[in-house]
Structure 1
Amino acid sequence: MNSASIALTVSGAALAIAALLHFACIFVGAPGYRLLGAGDQIVLAVQAGDFRPHLSAGFVGGALLLCSWYAIAGAGHFKSPPLQQFVLYTVSLLLLARAILFPLLKPHFPGNSGTFWLVSSTACGILGALLLYGAFNRPTIHGA
């Protein structure tokens, strides 16, 4: 397995774990959201029976799982899905943007903890870099 495949496999596995954590919040409820750094506003909404935090967590979890599939397929473990290279580049750039722009995003989500922002932004930066490296260096694209 070459370094690009390793980068895509690792990032795909990490994206799958992130997806599972989002899905776990739906099943665990308010304590799960609090553990992962959601603010009091979200936790109180879940405790009050509001379904919107669950919809958000489900949507994000689904998107992360889809990205995981693309990354793992990019590593050669599955058949290539449609628009694979475009999706890999797009997701890597979105993750890198999320990591870099968190100081601008943070004021719009005042309930999230500082730890949440640092951990999630660092994870997004690392995953974005791994995906970008893997996508750019895939042997099937550059003929290596």
Structure 2
Amino acid sequence: MLATVDLGQKLLVVGGILSLLASILHIGVIIGGPDWYRFFGAGEDMARMAEKGLFYPALITIGIACVLAIWSWFAFAGAGLVWKPPLLRTGLVAISAVYLARGLIVLPMAIFAPEKINGFAIWSSLIVLIYGLFYAAGTWKSWPTLS
């Protein structure tokens, strides 16, 4: 199926799969509970609230999962696999920008707040930077077909 699509569409499919996996992972964090919140870097406050049975961590995490699922839809739509949402081009550019900005945040952190850089900050930034590169390159290569 992917053999008949161009490079931009392939890149967007990969980006969409990555976003969908991240969305599912966020649901897994809710199911996994406080230890998963800790392991995946949500912070001790979120883990403690989950331990107390408060709804706040789950609501925030579900919200993030929903956003990531919507971003996946945009990528799959850009690849021509599903129906197109409104403002597809604008959405893909914005999603690319958010992922890239989040991925590059460690650079100013290294200068202005080096004490906040830890293993989670580094590896999560690299992962999200990769997501952003798939979205940005896929959007750029598919631009003429996205209207």
TM-score when scaled to structure 2? 0.84
Pairing partner for 2:73 from 40, 58, 69: 69
Contact 2:78 2:139 in 1 (8 A): yes
Q: Which amino acid aligns with 2:59?
A: L
1:29 aligns with: 33
Q: Structure 1: which 4+ aligned runs deviate by more than 4 Å?
A: 103-107
CA contact (8 A) 1:37 1:115 kept: no
Is the CA contact (8 Å cut-off) linking 1:13 and 1:68 kept in structure 2? yes
Counterparts of 1:84 and 1:141, CA distance in 2: 7
Q: Is the 8 A contact 2:78 2:146 kept in 1?
A: no
1:73, distance to aligned residue in structure 2 (A): 1.0
**What's the secondary structure of 2:81's corresponding residue?**
coil
**Equivalent in the alignment of 2:103:** 99
Deviations 1:15-64 (A, max 9, x none): 00000111111122112212312322221121012221111111111100
- Aligned-partner Cα distance in 1 for 2:146–2:47: 45
Is it true that 1:140 corresponds to 2:145 in the alignment?
Answer: yes
**Aligned length in residues:** 138
Quote the residue 2:7 is aligned against.
Answer: 3
Shift of 1:85: 0.6
Q: Partner of 1:49 in structure 2?
A: 53
Matched to 2:60, the amino acid is S
Q: What is the RMSD of the two structures over their aligned residues, measured on CA atoms?
A: 2.1
String of CA shifts for 1:64-114, please: whole Å, max 9, x gaps: 00000100111111121111110000010011111112455796xx6xx82
Structure 1 distance, partners of 2:62, 2:21, is 14
2:52 and 2:78 map into 1 onto residues whose CA distance is 42
SS in 1 for 2:17: helix
CA 57–141 in structure 1, closer or farther in 2 if over 3 Å, else same? closer
SS at match of 1:119: helix
Gaps of 5+ in 1: none
**Would the aligned equivalents of 1:16 and 1:68 in 2 still touch at CA under 8 Å?**
yes
Structure 2 segments unaligned to the other structure (5+ residues) = none
Shift of 1:135: 0.8
- What is the aligned partner in structure 1 of residue 123 from structure 2? 119
Q: Which residue of 2 aligns with 1:88?
A: 92
Identity %: 30
Counterparts of 1:55 and 1:104, CA distance in 2:
30
